[in-house]
């Protein structure tokens, strides 16, 4: 599978095992599009995606599903920039990424470049930090708990 992907999208595969294939973040959307369009791979559905904090890097894991061939493809992208982790959005290929990417952004703090509506989802705008990160509980000292303004409202009305 990894060899086919590398042939289809040159320069995309970093490493692979029997279970998953890791691709370069900048080639991620091309790789997903190729997997989606290729009749052999037929990754028609983005079944699941989530972020994993591995301390020194983030992993974004995509579980792709072929409904006709009945197989699953697991694609990973590794992000080494902990401060400004960002990966291209897969929304142009899969509309089902709309809420899943918002969830990963909200809880893990990974930005998806090109996502049409990247906002916090469960937590409010301005929430300090991203809870699913392993270093979340080391909240910065200048943070004051409480709401500065009403959630989801536009405009800055300080308390």
Partner 1 sequence: MTTASEPYVLNIGPQHPSTHGVFRLRVVMDGERIQDIDMVVGYLHRSMEKLAEERTYTQNIPFTDRTDYLAAMSNNLGYCLAVERLADVEVPERASYLRVIFAELQRLASHSMANGTFINDAGAWQTPLMYMFREREKILDLFEMTCGARLTTNYMRIGGVAFDPPPEFYPAIESLIDEMPTRIAEYTELLVDNEILIARARGIGVLTAAEAINGSITGPMLRASGVPWDLRKAEPYCAYDQFDFEIPVGHTGDCYDRFMVRLEEMRQSVRIIRQALDGLPSGPHKTEIPLALRPAPGEAYARVEGPRGELGFYVVSDGGPAPARFHIRAPSLINLSLLRQMAVGAALPDAIVTLGSTDIVVGEIDR
Q: Which residues in this chain contact partner 1 in the complex, by CB under 8 A?
A: 44-48, 50, 52-53, 61, 63, 67, 70, 74, 94-100, 103, 107, 121-124, 131-132, 136, 152
Q: How far is the CB of 102 from partner 1 (least distance, A)?
A: 10
Q: Specify the long-range contacts of residues 129-137, CB closer than 8 Å, at least 24 apart.
A: 130/106, 131/107, 132/51, 132/53, 132/107, 132/108, 133/53, 133/108, 133/109, 134/53, 134/55
Give the shortest CB-111-to-partner 1 separation in angstroms: 19
- Tell the smallest beta-carbon distance from residue 52 to partner 1 (Å): 5
The DSSP line for 20-89 is: EEEE-GGGHHHHHHHHHH-TTT---EEEEEEEEE-SSSEEEEEEEEETTTTEEEEEEEEE--STT-EEE-
Nearer to partner 1, 11 or 127 (CB): 127
For partner 1, the closer of residues 113 and 119 by Cβ is 119
State the nearest-atom distance from the C-beta of 149 to partner 1, in Å. 15
Considering beta carbons, is residue 80 or 142 the nearer one to partner 1? Answer: 80
Q: Which is nearer to partner 1, 1 or 50 (CB)?
A: 50
Could you tell me the smallest distance in angstroms from the CB atom of residue 155 to partner 1? 15
Side-chain-side CA neighbours of 14 within 13 Å: the count stands at: 13
96 alpha-carbon distance from chain centroid: 12
Q: Which is nearer to partner 1, 114 or 131 (CB)?
A: 131
């Amino acid at each position: 599978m990894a060899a086919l992907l590398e042939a289809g999208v040159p320069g995309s595969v970093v490493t692979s095992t029997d279970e998953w294939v890791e691709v370069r973040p900048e080639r991620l959307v091309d790789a997903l599009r190729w997997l989606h369009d290729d009749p052999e791979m037929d990754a028609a559905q983005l079944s699941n995606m989530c972020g994993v904090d591995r301390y020194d890097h983030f992993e974004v894991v995509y579980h792709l599903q072929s409904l006709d061939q009945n197989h699953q493809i697991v694609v990973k992208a590794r992000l080494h920039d902990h401060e400004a982790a960002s990966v291209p959005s897969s929304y142009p290929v899969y509309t089902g990424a709309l809420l899943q990417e918002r969830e990963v952004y909200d809880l893990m703090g990974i930005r998806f470049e090109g996502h049409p509506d990247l906002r916090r989802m469960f937590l409010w705008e301005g929430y300090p930090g991203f809870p699913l990160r392993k270093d979340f509980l080391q909240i910065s000292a200048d943070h004051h708990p409480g709401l500065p303004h009403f959630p989801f409202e536009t405009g800055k009305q300080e308390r």
